[in-house]
Structure 1
């Protein structure tokens, strides 16, 4: 596993006359007649029944409709849709714009579980200035019987969300072997999210056998654009010691994705005895990240494996430009922590990007790649970028390798005009700490017009080369502690 709305046409004189005739002959309300012809804007009173009625009218009439909700009203859903009880409101099967006007659509806490909104394959939904909250998914439309998906919104058609909030929704399951995905939004169609907060959503698996929880905030199996938005404080979690995987706590992408001027922060992936991966963002398809911040995310896997805040497993190229990846942590006490900031196992270009102040920590275990872990299929290219102040730490006799970059398994790393500075690999308690700036084995690392300075480790403060090829082209390696490169003479052109 690893885009927009149309405007409602103006009412013509002929439509006005027809509406008047319909009203006179049938006694239909003005709001119903407007909804039936999709002319102008239908004002929906602060009533759930009126909202359901307006959606049904819009669905059953030709053309596009705009529904304007009552200002700052809370539409509290106490029962599911009569036709499809997995949803709180009727499925969107036509072209509908809902102008929220600051309103909230939420599930009452006493109500049975159901998501808030489903956009059908034939549907197009635009949400403006609205809060969607309290949804709890019970099914997965794309994978029936296999999972629960989209606690707040599940999109099978076309979805646009503008200036809104998708908060406190859940795709949680206790059913053995069923996966949980997309706590806030699960999009299998085409989606665009603009200037929106997606926060405090969950995808949690509590079954007793092996399974998966992913996409605490967003999961997309169709193309998605995330612009000027915030994906924060979302959670993925799996049952302890079931060999399960929790990944993409903030956002997981299985289809082409573009992220620009957005923040993915303070999300949490938790998998005791399993695998916690990509607390911030996981890419399994072509992705472009531009002018964004990915920070403060945490992946925890006691006695298991924890991988980077940003994880790339895409066979297609992922490009990260002018972005900060900072203050993220992967933690695996007694296990393996890989890539405090980035865990890469595919083609990845990082341009004018800063990977700073990230940590991979494993008490009594193995910590590799405080800043970046590059896997066996990783093709990492750093261009005009910085890897600084990252730490790989393994206490209690553990192993720490690659404070800045870890490239130990046959991947390739190439830098151009980049700086790998002030990173640390440390293993207090008689452990092993190698490669403060870079740890390298098997594959190839080529540094062009770059610097490796001020890094610290037990050995190979700048670069530790266990095997493979490290090439320095017009690159400075100096002021590293206790030495610049190890073993001695292993890196041509590196002194001491």
Structure 2
């Protein structure tokens, strides 16, 4: 077991890491514009952007002009701990791990942690004082928040060199990295294996006033047991950018666990990453975006599972997903994607072969706003209604998209392609074809909702019926 003591050495000269500051959009209050819709998609008033705000852009490992970049860390867990202690004592720096080394951690790192919840908890405490009747979260238990490595308080870059950081199989419960207020972690080209936290973030936890850049990282077999939180591998409450990374077989196992691979409660930009085989008890088998802002680009969600949103879920949040694939996921509701009391923009999507044991084989939305542009929703199955898409009390806009070959298969299932109830649906330049349900309508079911189909939209060759079976006529839809 390692014990931390404040360093008495004066800071030594070193190359300081460069910092990347990028702007973004603003996630402001959001009102969903569906007819008769009372739900509001609430989102934090935080920066919402495609890049991290104030993350460390570390120098790459190697040499520039004959000068070595980063302090080499010998292959050993004690050496890694010592290197992080020193870099924290010196106000930040760059570490370079031993190529392909496996750093096995056997104990949680022991150090005084005076963290009081930071600016997030201070703000919530002020809100509670102004609104004493509001429900309060249970107090934070520091014993649940252990890490195997020293807490990150400063700009720290770790060049992984394809090394592995793992928790020993018989070790106590701890994650690897905790990033506190004003800390900036850049983690590149490393594997994180077997982390386990009783709080959020089985491998990495970023608090509200901190940031992280996760690049070319593989996070595997990590677990969060937080009762109401989650983030089996990664938890972000601050600013996080994830690029070119892979999250495999991570789990949020708490009673209301969210985000089996990654739970975002802050500002997230996710690029060119893959989520496979992750699970959450409640929602977001791969990715959960909760009361937060997230942008997702060119990423893949496959074979993940949850009660809601097998691939990904957006709850009381603002989410934008583009040019991404959601395939082979499973959930009770929203086999591929679930959206609730939130706004989710979907563009250039491939949503295929997902399964819902309830409604929405490919996509489910409740009290939300969903623009679906230039996308394919195909081959999904629901054991409830809405084989491709199920929308309840929502505003669903389908533009330039194809909804094809989806099924709603149980005895009372309707809306093989799309099922809409008590909201609004509008289709422009789209095709709803070859879908089927046990009860009509097999193509587009409109139940006590408003429907608009433009002249370039085709609803045809669905079984049983195209739109017949809806509670009212659907203009430009025949039979």
TM-score by length of 2: 0.77
The question of 1:291 aligning with 2:323 is answered: yes
Matched residue, 1:159: 212
- The match for 2:95 among 45, 48, 67 is 67
Matched residue, 2:412: 399
The question of 1:338 aligning with 2:359 is answered: yes
Matched residue, 1:470: 474
Written as runs of structure 1 = structure 2, the 5 A alignment for 1:53-202 is 53-62=82-91, 64-83=92-111, 86-138=146-198, 148-156=199-207, 157-172=210-225, 178-202=227-251
Is this contact kept in 1: 2:441–2:470, CA < 8 A?
no
SS at structure 2 position matched to 1:55: helix
Q: How far apart, in 1, do the equivalents of 2:107 and 2:173 lie?
A: 9
1:268 CA displacement: 1.4
SS at structure 2 position matched to 1:349: strand
- The match for 1:441 among 442, 447, 454 is 447
1:7 CA displacement: 4.2
Matched residue, 2:387: 370
Q: How far apart, in 1, do the equivalents of 2:469 and 2:330 lie?
A: 29
Is this contact kept in 2: 1:339–1:370, CA < 8 A?
yes
Q: How far apart, in 2, do the equivalents of 1:213 and 1:7 lie?
A: 33
SS at structure 1 position matched to 2:82: helix
CA deviation string 1:94-146 (max 9, x = no partner)? 000000000011100011011111111221001110001111012xxxxxxxx
- The match for 1:417 among 429, 447, 453 is 429
Matched residue, 1:212: 256
Q: How far apart, in 1, do the equivalents of 2:171 and 2:223 lie?
A: 14
Q: How far apart, in 2, do the equivalents of 1:152 and 1:7 lie?
A: 21
Is this contact kept in 2: 1:440–1:464, CA < 8 A?
no
- The match for 2:397 among 381, 406, 423 is 381
Q: How far apart, in 2, do the equivalents of 1:213 and 1:128 lie?
A: 27
SS at structure 1 position matched to 2:413: strand
Unaligned 5+ segments in structure 2 are: 1-41, 44-51, 61-66, 114-142
1:392 CA displacement: 0.3
Is this contact kept in 1: 2:329–2:335, CA < 8 A?
no
Report the count of equivalent residues: 384
Matched residue, 2:460: 453
Matched residue, 1:349: 371
User: Once superposed, which parts of structure 1, at least 4 consecutive aligned residues long, lie more than 3 Å away?
Assistant: 6-9
SS at structure 2 position matched to 1:129: strand
SS at structure 2 position matched to 1:403: coil
Flag the structure with larger Rg.
1
Matched residue, 1:313: 340
Matched residue, 2:126: none
1:344 CA displacement: 1.3
SS at structure 2 position matched to 1:165: strand
TM-score by length of 1: 0.75
SS at structure 2 position matched to 1:53: helix
CA deviation string 1:221-250 (max 9, x = no partner)? 00101100001100123xxxxxxxx21111
Q: How far apart, in 1, do the equivalents of 2:339 and 2:432 lie?
A: 21
Q: How far apart, in 2, do the equivalents of 1:252 and 1:8 lie?
A: 31
Is this contact kept in 2: 1:444–1:468, CA < 8 A?
no
Q: How far apart, in 2, do the equivalents of 1:122 and 1:43 lie?
A: 25
Q: How far apart, in 2, do the equivalents of 1:464 and 1:118 lie?
A: 56
The question of 1:221 aligning with 2:257 is answered: no
Q: How far apart, in 1, do the equivalents of 2:475 and 2:96 lie?
A: 62
